């Protein structure tokens, strides 16, 4: 693989996509995962072991919660992320254990600090719409790179898309880079946030964009 995606998702939108036991989703961007492009489930014998990340637990619960299932004892989401993506990311020395993989993802999340950057740019959850170009401009200004932004397309009768996921791309040296494919790179796996029938796709630049503050 060539690059890593650090995916942040907006819990309110995730809950909107899926009618299950979402309770009081956090009102800040949380981690969805740290994904190498192109590879999945690289080592099926390397099982998730929650005791390896016990030192990270309070940060994991806060910044990488299982938004869809509110019980704090659930580790299913992390297990899934480790087995599907972590075992592939582990070819890098800085990510070659469960503790390093989850710890480094938390570190990158803190470093990017998406929540405060959006606030500083005056972009906050609201009932009025944003222009996608304004959101992109703010992010590019802060980070110097273009992230990949995913939305829930408008439902029937709606005119606006709903922002759901923002992915930052990193090189193997863990330096920020643009998410667009470079020459000679294939474009990686599409959004894997598919819940029920609804799924996220790359946001349209022309549709008004809703950044919801609570689950409708």
Among residues 32, 41, 47, 199, the one annotated as catalytic is 32
Q: How far apart are CA 32 and CA 14, in angstroms?
A: 10
Among residues 8, 9, 81, 83, the one annotated as catalytic is 81
* 80 carries an active-site annotation: no
Among residues 8, 9, 83, 85, the one annotated as catalytic is 85
Cα 73 from chain centroid?
21
* 85 carries an active-site annotation: yes
Task: Answer yes or no: are the C-beta atoms of 143 and 131 closer than 8 Å.
Answer: no
Q: Which residues on adjacent β-strands are paired with residue 33?
A: 7
* 8 carries an active-site annotation: no
| Alpha-carbon torsion (69, 81, 170, 154), positive or negative | negative
Q: How far apart are CA 197 and CA 189, in angstroms?
A: 19
Q: How far apart are CA 91 and CA 111, in angstroms?
A: 22
Question: Which positions are annotated as active-site residues?
Answer: 32, 81, 85
């Amino acid at each position: 693989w060539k690059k890593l995606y650090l995916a942040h998702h907006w819990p309110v939108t995730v809950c909107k996509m899926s009618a299950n036991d979402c309770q009081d989703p956090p009102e800040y961007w949380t981690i969805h995962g740290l994904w190498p492009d192109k590879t999945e489930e690289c080592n099926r014998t390397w099982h998730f072991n929650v005791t390896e990340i016990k030192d990270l637990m309070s940060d994991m619960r806060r910044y990488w919660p299982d938004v869809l299932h509110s019980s704090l004892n659930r580790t299913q989401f992390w297990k899934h992320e480790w087995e599907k993506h972590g075992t592939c990311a582990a070819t890098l020395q800085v990510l070659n254990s469960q503790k390093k993989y989850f710890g480094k993802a938390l570190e990158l999340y803190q470093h990017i600090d998406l929540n405060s950057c959006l606030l500083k740019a005056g972009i906050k959850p609201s009932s009025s719409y944003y222009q996608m170009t304004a959101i992109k401009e703010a992010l590019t200004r802060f980070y110097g790179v273009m992230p990949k932004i995913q939305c829930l397309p408008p439902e029937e009768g709606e005119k606006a898309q709903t922002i759901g996921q923002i992915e930052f791309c990193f090189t193997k040296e863990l330096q920020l880079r643009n998410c667009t494919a470079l020459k000679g790179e294939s474009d990686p796996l599409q959004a894997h946030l598919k819940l029920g029938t609804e799924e996220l796709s790359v946001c349209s630049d022309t549709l008004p964009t809703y950044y919801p503050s609570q689950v409708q």
